[in-house]
Amino acid sequence: MTRLAAYESSEGKKNMSIGTYFRGDYISGQIMKSIIYGTVAFALVFVLYLLYDAEKLMESIYEIDLMGFGKELLIRYLVFIGIYSVITYIVYAVRHRRARRKLRIYYNNLRRLDSMYRKEGKG
């Protein structure tokens, strides 16, 4: 019982919130979050790149093939987001599986405790 209460107050709280989602919903939600974070991170790196190469860019602003530059930027962004999303998928799929497994053990123990109480009540 003490162990059940300890689990409930510490790790259990987080796992229960994970357990309320279906696997697909939970992981896709996390991937969406990662895409937002990843986009901001990519934008920051791009700004840093602009500052770094500002001189060269200013000099050759009229000679740059903007379409080509944009295409290259988009490909890099997609590759970056793709890798970031794959990592997110792996990490959160593992977390979801673990949380589910621990919750199942917790509910099993809870059921056993409940039956114990019932028996005591009858006795």
Partner 1 sequence: MVVLLQIRERITRFYTSYDNYCNAAGRFILALITFLLINHYLGYSAILTNAALVLIIALACSFLPMNFLLVAAAAVTLLHIYALSLESVIVVGVAYLLMMFLYFRFSPKDSMLVILTPICFVLKVPYAIPVAAGLIGTPTSVISTGCGVAVYYILSYISKNQVPEAVTAPVTEDGAASMINKFRFIIDDLFGNKEIPVFVAAFAITILAVYLIRRLSIDRSWLIAIFAGTLLDILVLLGGDLTFKLYLSVPGMILGHVVAIAVAVVIMFFRFNVDYTRTERVQFEDDEYYYYVKAVPKNTVKPEERRVKKIKGETKKDAAEYHMRRSVTEKKEIVTDRAARRTAPTDRDIRLEEARERRRAADRLERDVAAKARENRERRGNQ
Footprint of partner 1 (CB under 8 A) = 1-2, 33-34, 37-38, 40-41, 44-45, 47-48, 51-52, 54-55, 87-88, 91, 112, 115-116, 119
- Complex with partner 1: residue 52 or 71, whichever CB lies closer: 52
- Complex with partner 1: residue 45 or 79, whichever CB lies closer: 45
Q: Supply the minimum distance, in Å, between the C-beta of residue 84 and partner 1.
A: 9
C-alpha 39/C-alpha 60 separation (Å) is: 27
Q: Supply the minimum distance, in Å, between the C-beta of residue 67 and partner 1.
A: 26
Q: Quick one: how far is CA 47 from the chain centroid? A: 25
The number of CA neighbours under 13 Å toward the Cβ of 105 is 11
Q: Supply the minimum distance, in Å, between the C-beta of residue 2 and partner 1.
A: 7
C-alpha 105/C-alpha 123 separation (Å) is: 27
C-alpha 107/C-alpha 101 separation (Å) is: 10
